[in-house]
Amino acid sequence: MGDSLHPADPGPASVTISAGPRMKAALILAVAADIFQLAVFPFVVEGAASPADDILDLCIAALLTILLGWHWEFAPSFVAKLVPGVEFVPLWTLAVANVYRKTRPHLPAQESAGPQ
């Protein structure tokens, strides 16, 4: 599992996630969940009143947490899905993309090596 989670320190700010199989699986899962929620919008338009949609969101949140670990980006995605009509916003996909953006290793800025 050398390509999924690379903790440099035990601290939470130092966890990096590469674009390995776990990140790819999480992104595919998030995109599939968002497409599914768009495709079945007439059945889940009630927001919090739709138990099927809530169960799907709980399962997606659990699977993403298993794949990537807990990230605060997942909480707003789940809570926002309780609002009617928010199924049109791909919140799970945005959450996974934001997790990758925040946790990818940052390369130091290269100094310009122009003529002197």
Domain ranges of the chain: 44-104
Which phi and psi angles does 12 have, rounded to 5°?
A: -65, -25
**Which H helix or E strand runs over 15?**
strand 15-17
Instruction: State which amino acid sits at residue 107.
Output: L
Highest mean pLDDT among 25-34, 36-45, 74-83, 97-106: 25-34
Q: Which residues contact 74 (CB under 8 A, 6 or more apart)?
A: 61, 64, 65, 95
Contact 49, 37 (CB under 8 A): no
Structure tokens at 23: 């990140």
**Interval 15-69: pLDDT, tens:** 455 568 889 999 999 999 988 888 876 565 665 567 777 788 889 999 999 998 8
d(CA 64, CA 32): 12
